[in-house]
Amino acid sequence: MKQHKHLRQLLKLQSRLELWEQLGPSVTEDEWDDFTIKLNALRDLIQLCHSSTEHIISKRELKQFNRDYKQYRTHKSITK
């Protein structure tokens, strides 16, 4: 079965965000709200990619996902 070309990386980011959610540092309410919005948007995009292997993700979104991947690292995910 054909898979979206960015799906593997998106799932990796989702895994990192979910780990950060459990192990991450204490944050302000605004930072938590921002995190929640990002995680929900990522989950929605993953669903789109599952349903359509031809879905186009903008360069702006890809760059933001890269920044999020760096921002939401935890000590445990650094050693992987």
Q: pLDDT at position 1, please?
A: 73
**Residues 13-34, mean pLDDT to the nearest whole number:** 88
Domain spans of the chain? 7-78
Q: pLDDT at position 80, please?
A: 46
Q: pLDDT at position 77, please?
A: 45
Quick: pLDDT tens for 30-80. Answer: 999 999 999 999 999 999 999 999 999 999 999 999 999 999 887 654 444
Q: pLDDT at position 60, please?
A: 95
Surface-to-core class of residue 54, CB atoms within 10 Å of its CB (0-12 exposed, 13-18 middle, 19+ buried): exposed
Q: pLDDT at position 34, please?
A: 93
Q: Which residues contact 55 (CB under 8 A, 6 or more apart)?
A: 4, 48, 49
Q: pLDDT at position 22, please?
A: 87
